[in-house]
Amino acid sequence: MSKSIIQERISQLRQVLKNNEIDAIIIPSADPHLSEYLPEYWQGRQWLSGFTGSVGTLVVTEDFAGLWTDSRYWVQAAAQLAETGISLQKLQKGSPNHAEWLASHLNPGDAVAIDGNVLSLAEQDRLLDAFDEVAGEDEEGIRLITEQDLLTELWQDRPALPTAPLYAHEEQFLSQSAKEKLADVRAQMQEIGVTHHLVSSLDDIAWLTNLRGSDVDYNPVFLAHMLITADKATLYIDNNKVSDDIAKLLADAGIDVAEYDQVQSALSQLTPEDLLLLDPNKVAVGTLNDLGDDIGMIEQIAPSTLLKSIKSVEDIEHVREAMRQDGAALCQFFAEFEARLNKGERLSELDVDSMLIEVRSQQPHYVSPSFPTIAGYNENGALPHYRATEDKFSYLDGDGLLLIDSGAQYQNGTTDITRVVGIGNVNEVQKRDFSMVLKAHIALAKACFPDGIASPLIDAICRAPLWQAQMDYGHGTGHGVGYFLNVHEGPQVIAYAASNPPERAMKVGMISSNEPGIYREGKWGIRIENLVVNQPVPTPEETEFGHYLNFETVTLCPIDTRLVNPDLLTQEEIDWLNDYHTHVYHELKDRVEGEALAWLTERTKAI
C-alpha cells in the first residue's frame, strides 16, 4: 500500500471525525469476538495504517495519528509507518498506552469514538477509568462514544463477512460429544449460580459444538455467538453456513440455531431475575447493546476456556500422532531444502513457505497452516513476527542464519515449531547465541514444578541461563495451544510480565510452547520452539510437598547440532539433546525414506 493512500485515508477520517463532532478515534485490532486473527471485514486498523502486524491500536485526532504496538513489531511498524504521518508509539514500561495518552492530551468533555463491536467490556472499563481521571470537580471526564462504526463512511470497498460452510471435527478424534461438553459447562454455571451464559469467543464455540469453520485464516473457527441456559443452548450464526447434516449434529447435541444478529434481541429478553455469565475480555460492548441496565452479570473467564485447555489422554495421543506426521513432513522439507541449496539453486524466504505447505498438505488429516509462516533470513530473523511478502522478501544468499517458525492444522492436532538453519558459513558468535538459546530451551524442557503453579512464574526457569549471560528476549516464552483449534490459546501463558489470575494455573493435560530466543537487530534472530504437555512427574521422589509436574516434549524434529558449541553446554544438557534426537529418530524413521531418511539419520547423530 502506498504511503500517499494511507495519508489520504487518515485525512478523510479526520473529516469524518469533524463532521460527527468527535475529537479522537481508537481503531484496535479486534472483531466482535476479540479474536487474534481477523476476517478482512474487521481489519480496519490495517486498512487505515498499512501496518500488518497482528497487534496494534491506532489513535487519530485532529493533529495526531499514532500506533501503539509491543516490542515484537517495533522494527516492522517503524518501516511500514514511515512517511505516513502515523507515529510509532512503543508499548513499554514507563511509556503511556493509548488510553493514558488520550487522557493527558484531551480535555474534559471531549469525545473519543470507538466501535463498540470491536471493544471488549474489560477494555471499555479501562478506557473509562483513564478518562474519568481528567474530570474536574464539577465537570465530566472524556466522553466515550461506542454506538457507531465511523469507518463505514469512508471504507467504500470494505470486504464482506465470510460465508464458508461449517464442517464437523471428525468423530474419530473426539473424546467428548458436544452434549457432554455442554453438560460440563452447565454444571459449572450451576456452581457459579447463573441462569445464562454468553459465549462470543470463537475457539470456545468451536470446541463446545465439535464443529469447525474457515471464517478466519489459520484458525478453524466460524463467526458465531452462543447463549446457554440450564435447558437450552442457541448458536447465533449465519444460517447459510449450516448444512442439513450440520443442523442435525447440532440438534442431536440439543443446540438450536438462530441468525447471527439475533443475539442482541435474545439478550434483551433477560429479566432482573436472571444472572448472566460472560468473559469481559471476550465479549464486545456492541453485543450487549440491548441488555437491560438492571440485568445482573458475573464477569469471569468462561468455563469452556478452562475445560478445553486440559486435553484428555485420548486428545494427547492424537496430538502425538499429528506431531509424527508433522515431523515426517519436516524431514522431507529440510532434506529437499538443503539439497536444492547444495545444488546452487537460489531460494528465497517465500520458497520456504510454499515448500512447507507442499510437504504438510501430503500428510493425513491436513487442513491448513496454523499461522503465517515466519521465514526470516539474517536481519529479518531478528523480527519475531516477520512475514515475507511478494513485495518484500529476501533471497538466501551468502552466509547467515535462517529462522523458520511454522505450523499446521490437522484434524488430530495443531502444530507450532521453530528451527534455525545455517546458510553458508556460520560464525562463532552465532553459534554462541544458538547454544545459549538451546540452554534456555533445555532448562524449561527439563523443569519440574508444583501442580497448579501460576504459569507466568516458570518463565524465569527458562530465562535463567540467558539472564546469567546478561541476555534476554522481548516476547513471552510460551503460549497455550489448542487441539485442532487456535495455535495461540489460553489461559496459561509462560511470560513473567503477565498477571497471575487463578485460571493461569498449570494443570495436567495443558499444551504449551517452549520458545526462548535471541534477536540482534540488523543481524540475526534465533528461536528454538517445541510444544510440550504438562504431565505428572512419572516417578516422584517426594510426596510430602504435594504433586509435581514436568513437561513431555511432543514436537518431533531435529535441532541443528551444527550450530551448537558443545563447550557451552553441560553434560546434562548434552544428554538431553542426544536423548531428544534418539527419540525423534525412533519416532520418525519408519515414516520417511530416501533423502528424508538420510537427512533424519544424519541430523539426529549424538554430539
Question: Which residues fall within 8 angstroms of residue 452, CB to CB, at 6 or more apart?
Answer: 505, 506, 507
CA distance 209 to 116: 27
Burial of 543 (0-12, 13-18, 19+ CB in 10 A): exposed
Q: Which comes out higher in pLDDT, residue 405 or 108?
A: 405
Q: Which comes out higher in pLDDT, residue 268 or 153?
A: 268
Average pLDDT, the chain: 95
pLDDT of residue 365: 97
pLDDT of residue 137: 61
SS3 491: strand
pLDDT exceeds 70 at position 375: yes
pLDDT of residue 138: 62
Tens of pLDDT along 42-59?
Answer: 999 999 999 998 889 999
Which whole number is the average pLDDT over 588-595?
98
Tens of pLDDT along 128-162?
Answer: 999 987 776 666 889 999 998 999 889 999 999 99
Mean pLDDT lowest among 162-171, 218-227, 511-520, 538-547: 538-547
Which whole number is the average pLDDT over 9-17?
95
Q: Which comes out higher in pLDDT, residue 385 or 550?
A: 550
Q: Which comes out higher in pLDDT, residue 453 or 3?
A: 453
pLDDT exceeds 80 at position 519: yes
Tens of pLDDT along 404-436?
Answer: 999 999 999 999 999 999 999 999 999 999 999
Which whole number is the average pLDDT over 448-454?
97
Q: How far is CA 181 from CA 113, 115, 199, 204, 482, in A?
A: 39, 33, 14, 11, 16
Mean pLDDT lowest among 507-521, 535-549, 559-573: 535-549
Q: Residues 342, 311: contact at Cβ < 8 Å?
A: no
pLDDT exceeds 70 at position 245: yes
Which whole number is the average pLDDT over 313-326?
98
Which whole number is the average pLDDT over 550-555?
98
- Percent of the chain residues past pLDDT 70, beyond the cut: 99
Residue 73's pLDDT band, with cuts at 50, 70 and 90, is confident
The amino acid at 533: V
**E strands along 309-453, which residues?**
366-369, 374-377, 400-406, 408-410, 413-414, 417-423, 448-450
